[in-house]
Structure 1
Amino acid sequence: MPYFFGIGLHVIIAIFFAVHAMRNGQGIYWLFILFAFPMLGSIVYFFAIYLPSLRQSRGARVATQAITQFVDPNRALREARAAFDRAPTVQHRMRLGDALLAAGNAREALEHFQAAANGPFANDPALLLGLARSQFALSDYTAADATLANLFSVNPQARNQGEPALLYARTLAALGAPGTRAAFEQALTCASDVAPRCLFADWLAVQPDDADRQHAESLYAEIVQDARHWPRHAREHNREWLQRAQTALASGATRR
């Protein structure tokens, strides 16, 4: 009986790794290795392919970042500042600006992005996005709008990228500008998480039209419903938006 159990366990493990190999475009030879060499093939695949893929996955990166932030919350900023002090290049300045933004110091971040923008890299898309993020964080929405317009001019593809698309929608919403609805709808098409859906619902919830408020309620409900099927890393990543959706539904924020 233990012998047959061992065979069954090997088959289950091999099938699991075989599915992983096919989904991730690994060579067909892995199927031969997995099933021709009991257990040994699975062990080799685990260390050669599966374990490295876990380390590179979004969930692993999110978990690693969360642990690092908890243990040493100032590490990224400290390292970025040290790198800039050693070599004050534009790249290091932008890295420091991003770290400052993440640490909640938008004022100093803005200074670094503005300094970087006064040079040959003035039209660098990453620099312009960092500058717009800093301006938005400081509630300078008019400046953020102008910077994003410049970004979309030099890099039209940015309109179809999640972060700049959502930032543009939020900027228009803060300005009460025409085109806010279309901007949020565009952000939804290139979203990698539920932030655009929740923020769009927040905007719809305060509109005077009953249809908009009903749409907001449906978006909040979708987030809560979808969250039941999220893997752990997705739930952690979207925790803020899930809580906002639950709170909005519980408080009846979409009804007046």
Structure 2
Amino acid sequence: MPYFFGIGLHVIVAICFAVHAVRSRQGLYWLFILFAFPMLGSVVYLFAIYLPSLRQSRGARAATQAITQFVDPNRAVREARAQFDRAPTVQHRMRLGEALLAAGNASEALEHYQAAANGPFANDPALLLGLGRAQFAMGNYTATDATLASLFAANPQARNQGEPALLYARTLAALGAPGTRAAFEQALTCANDVAPRCLFADWLAAQPDPADRERADTLYAEIVQDAKHWPRHAREHNREWLQRAQSGLATASTRR
């Protein structure tokens, strides 16, 4: 009886790995290996394909980053600073600026981005985007607008990229400038997460036109509804925006 149970268990494990092999577009020879060699094929697939794919998944990377941030929150800044001290190149300065921004130290990040922008890489799109992000974090929206203008002039395609498009919309909103609505609409067309929808809804909810507030409620409701179908990593990635959408809907219900 245990012998037959072992055979059944092998088949179940092999089928699970076979499904993974097909979905992840592994070579068809893996199907032969899985079913031609009892247990051995599954063990080989486990260590050769399945476990490495888990480490490379978005959810695993997010979990690893979260754990690292909790255990050693200053690690990224420390490593970037050490690398910059050893070789103070523009690339290393930019990496340090990015780490400082992520750690909430926008003031020092801005210093590094400004220093990098004074050299031959002044029109580098990644540098200009980082500089704009640091300026926005410091509340200097006029400077952010000027930096984004330089970015779009140097790289017109940036207007159709999620992060710079959203940063531009948020900058115009902070300035109360004309074109904010169009900028948010543009950000929605190239978004890869729900942040533009939520931030646009926040802006619409603050407008005096009832039609704008109704659309804000619709956007909030879409986020909450979509969240019911998100995988775990998507819920973690968009947790802030989901909470803001739920809060927005709660506020809207009190207005009625």
Q: In which range does the TM-score fall when normalised by the shorter chain?
A: over 0.9
8 Å Cα contact 1:205-1:254 kept in structure 2: no
Q: Aligned pair in 2 of structure 1 residues 10, 140: CA closer, same or farther (>3 Å)?
A: same
What is the rounded CA distance, in whole Å, between the counterparts of 1:34 and 1:24 in structure 2? 15
What is the rounded CA distance, in whole Å, between the counterparts of 2:218 and 2:89 in structure 1? 48
Equivalence map 1:134-145=2 (5 Å): 134-145=134-145
What is the rounded CA distance, in whole Å, between the counterparts of 1:254 and 1:90 in structure 2? 51
Deviation at 1:9, TM superposition (A): 3.2
> 1:88 aligns to what SS in structure 2?
coil
Q: Aligned pair in 2 of structure 1 residues 4, 224: CA closer, same or farther (>3 Å)?
A: farther
What is the rounded CA distance, in whole Å, between the counterparts of 1:29 and 1:121 in structure 2? 48
Give CA deviations for 1:21-61 in whole Å, capped at 9, x if unaligned: 22222111112112222222222112111111111111111
Give CA deviations for 1:185-225 in whole Å, capped at 9, x if unaligned: 22222222211111111111111222211111111112122
8 Å Cα contact 1:205-1:212 kept in structure 2: yes
Give CA deviations for 1:166-200 in whole Å, capped at 9, x if unaligned: 11111111122222222222222222221111111
Deviation at 1:69, TM superposition (A): 0.7
Are residues 1:49 and 2:49 paired?
yes
Report the residue type matching 1:69 in the other structure.
Q
What is the rounded CA distance, in whole Å, between the counterparts of 2:17 and 2:184 in structure 1? 40
What is the rounded CA distance, in whole Å, between the counterparts of 1:10 and 1:226 in structure 2? 38
Match of residue 208 from structure 1:
208
Q: Aligned pair in 2 of structure 1 residues 173, 253: CA closer, same or farther (>3 Å)?
A: farther
Match of residue 148 from structure 2:
148
Q: Aligned pair in 2 of structure 1 residues 9, 141: CA closer, same or farther (>3 Å)?
A: same
Match of residue 161 from structure 2:
161
Greater alpha carbon shift after TM alignment, 7-16 vs 111-120: 7-16
Match of residue 93 from structure 2:
93
Give CA deviations for 1:201-251 in whole Å, capped at 9, x if unaligned: 111111122221111111111212222222222222111111111111122
Q: Aligned pair in 2 of structure 1 residues 12, 153: CA closer, same or farther (>3 Å)?
A: farther
Deviation at 1:255, TM superposition (A): 4.0
Unaligned runs of 5+ in 2: none
Aligned residues: CA RMSD: 1.8
Q: TM-score with structure 2 length normalisation?
A: 0.93
8 Å Cα contact 1:213-1:254 kept in structure 2: no
Equivalence map 1:1-256=2 (5 Å): 1-252=1-252, 255=255
Deviation at 1:144, TM superposition (A): 0.9
> 1:252 aligns to what SS in structure 2?
helix
Report the residue type matching 2:21 in the other structure.
A
Q: TM-score with structure 1 length normalisation?
A: 0.93
8 Å Cα contact 1:129-1:164 kept in structure 2: yes
What is the rounded CA distance, in whole Å, between the counterparts of 2:241 and 2:189 in structure 1? 18
Give identity over the alignment, percent: 86
What is the rounded CA distance, in whole Å, between the counterparts of 2:20 and 2:183 in structure 1? 37
What is the rounded CA distance, in whole Å, between the counterparts of 2:189 and 2:39 in structure 1? 44
What is the rounded CA distance, in whole Å, between the counterparts of 1:35 and 1:198 in structure 2? 48
Give CA deviations for 1:134-155 in whole Å, capped at 9, x if unaligned: 1111111121112112212222
Deviation at 1:17, TM superposition (A): 2.1
